[in-house]
A and B are shown apart, each in its own frame.
Chain A
Amino acid sequence: MRSKSYGEKASLGLKLGAIGTLLFLHVPLLIIFLYSFTTDETTYSFPLPGLTTKWFGVALHRTDLWEALKLSLQVASLATIAALILGTLAAAAVYRSNFFGRDAISFLLVLPIALPGIVTGIALRSAIGTLEIPFSFWTIIIGHATFCVVVVYNNVLARFRRMQSSQIEASMDLGANSFQTFRYIVLPNIATALLAGGMLAFALSFDEVIVTTFTAGQQSTLPIWIFSQLVRPRDRPVTNVVATIVILITFLPIFFAQKISAESSDTEGESK
């Protein structure tokens, strides 16, 4: 006897569960948007006592915020460049050959994000302290680069695996040398993977706070500024505005980066 065929359509319960989880993931962010227009200066009262846009103006004139934003952008840019170089080199090496240490390399690269951020943070702090290097802009970047490498590495390696090696062979057969092949065949092939990996690394660095608190000296990145407000709220309305702006500026780059990697992993799945 044949029982009812399995899983043609999602059951109502499953749909509701899925929708519930999606709402749980995104509704809290909408609440922040709402709060950035509140007239309430001292508490988080709901319903909002009134609506105003004046906090956007106030935030605009806060120099401490601009300083923090500038530092965050500088750090994220340099950490991303470092991650792009290191991650691509590692991905190329791992893709090229099947040597003994492949798994170990992936493991080593993934470790900074698999171990709690506090481990990376305090480890770097004790190393920097032991070597008596002063904490600075550069120590923040060194810290960020360690956990950004893996993002670029994963994206580029996935793309390498999808690339037809016959293209490289054809290029070489037609007389191009290794450098020309890299320039005209490999680079265009991995360009969007670099873009996606780079944008994600940038976002990761721009948002990072745990490692940063350990590797920064007196500098304050934007996440550190927000964290100080979380612990001791002094400028609630301005924090609401900053939170809203952070969501808005990170949304688009990450959306596109994710779209690129989602699409390339989709086609990868098909070819298998």
Chain B
Amino acid sequence: MNRLSTYFYKRPFMVTMLLLSVPMLYMLVVYLGSLFALLLNSFYYLEEFTGLVVKQFTLGTYAQLLKPSNLGIFGRTAGMAMAVTITDAVIAFPLAYYIAKFASRRLRTYLYIAVTLPLWSSYLVRVYAWKLILSKEGILSWFVNLFHLNPLLDGLLSLPGIGGSSLSLSPIGMFIAFCYIWLPYMIVPIQTALERVPKSLLEASSDLGAKPSQTFRNVILPLAFPGVVAGSIFTFSLTLGDFIVPQSLGNSRFFIGQAVYSHQGTSGNIPLAAAFTMGPVIIMVIYLLAARRLGAFDAL
């Protein structure tokens, strides 16, 4: 035993490599291998008459993505992801700011838990909650009735493109649910970024004559920005790839996630599903590289 220990002690690099070998083998083979299989499949195509996948190189599957209906899916999903990201950044800021700069240590721990608890559990249950809340006979309609806001709601629902027969069957409902579900992913990185802003910096700003609003705009906001970018990685990426919310709350117009889900499911068209996923993959890789430039990874 001691000899083995000494043997290892003298070869630290070998030990590191040994430790690393198992997890890396797993990630490289299973995960990257799968991503590679995905890429490969996106260059195959589905023979329409037989319904079988033909393993032959073609760009035809990608060409199908350029059909107007498919481009519409990309546009709709990216638009939703952007709207959700911006809204979440706005809603997240006050709470993140409060936790980072004003809460006592004890309160901070509990607020942090209150924010992160939903990150780890009950994702479906939380979507389900909005199905209850937004349904036509549900609690939100009841409140709308109570305050006589029906004309406003009806007006909102009659808007072309985002309206629908009820909130739980419209893009507006999806938007609310998305904002709700991914909100904690935005709060945590902004809070982390703000915690790193030294109090002395804020004092210096006010000593030099800046009004609180100026300090906020010129000192706090720029320093919180990497946190916002870090949070947006999650809100954006998760919205791009989700099919649970559109399936549960949306109307019949597809999002990327649903398109992938239905192409691989009913028709077994894995090549087209794979080509569809390459959209979000490319968007996210560019996004991640840009975020790294902006220093967002330090705020994670």
Contacts and interface: CB of A to CB of B under 8 A. Distances in A.
A173 interface: no
A25 interface: yes
A174 interface: no
A115 B122 CA distance: 20
Interface in A96-137: 96-97, 99, 105, 108-112, 114-120, 122-127, 129-130
A210 B242 contact: yes
A62 interface: no
A115 B284 contact: yes
Given A93-B16, A115-B241, A118-B242, A251 B132 contact: no
A42 to B, nearest CB: 10
Interface string B246-258: 0110000000110
Contact of A89 (B20, B30, B233): B20
B137 A254 contact: no
Contacts, number: 307
Contact of B241 (A2, A47, A116): A116
A124 B33 CA distance: 9
Contacts of B99: 18
B132 A32 contact: yes
Contacts of A93: 16-17, 19-20, 23
A123 B112 contact: no
A213 to B, nearest CB: 7
- Residue among B93, B121, B138, B242 with most chain A CB within 10 A: B121
A154 to B, nearest CB: 9
A115 to B, nearest CB: 6
B126 A28 contact: yes
Contacts of B61: none
A250 B122 contact: yes
A198 interface: no
A6 B125 contact: no
B237 A21 contact: no
B26 A207 contact: no
Contacts of B13: 97, 99
Interface residues of A, number: 100
A165 interface: no
A74 to B, nearest CB: 18
A61 to B, nearest CB: 21
B233 A126 contact: no
B95 A18 contact: yes
A43 interface: yes
B212 interface: yes
A140 B97 CA distance: 39
Interface stretch (B1-9, B65-73, B153-161, B221-229): B1-9
A247 B121 contact: yes
Interface in A131-168: 142, 145-146, 149
Contacts of B284: 114-116
Contact of A108 (B27, B93, B121, B261): B27
B98 A207 contact: no
Contacts of B24: 90, 105, 108
Contacts of B22: 85-86, 89
A92 to B, nearest CB: 5
- Residue among A6, A89, A230 with most chain B CB within 10 A: A6
Given A105-B24, A122-B264, A126-B38, A116 B237 contact: yes
Contacts of B142: 46-47
Interface string A1-44: 11111110110011101101110111011011001000000011
A209 B123 CA distance: 9
A4 B212 contact: yes
A177 B244 contact: no
B84 interface: no
B116 A258 contact: yes
A25 B22 CA distance: 39
18 contacts: A7-B215, A21-B91, A29-B122, A31-B139, A44-B135, A86-B22, A86-B26, A90-B20, A114-B284, A116-B238, A120-B31, A122-B274, A127-B30, A127-B38, A178-B9, A247-B122, A250-B121, A254-B120
Given A46-B137, A86-B26, 8 more contacts: A7-B215, A45-B137, A108-B32, A126-B274, A177-B1, A210-B242, A210-B244, A226-B124
In the A-B complex, the 5 residue pairs with the smallest Cβ-Cβ separation, listed nearest first, are A116-B241, A17-B94, A177-B5, A6-B206, A28-B129
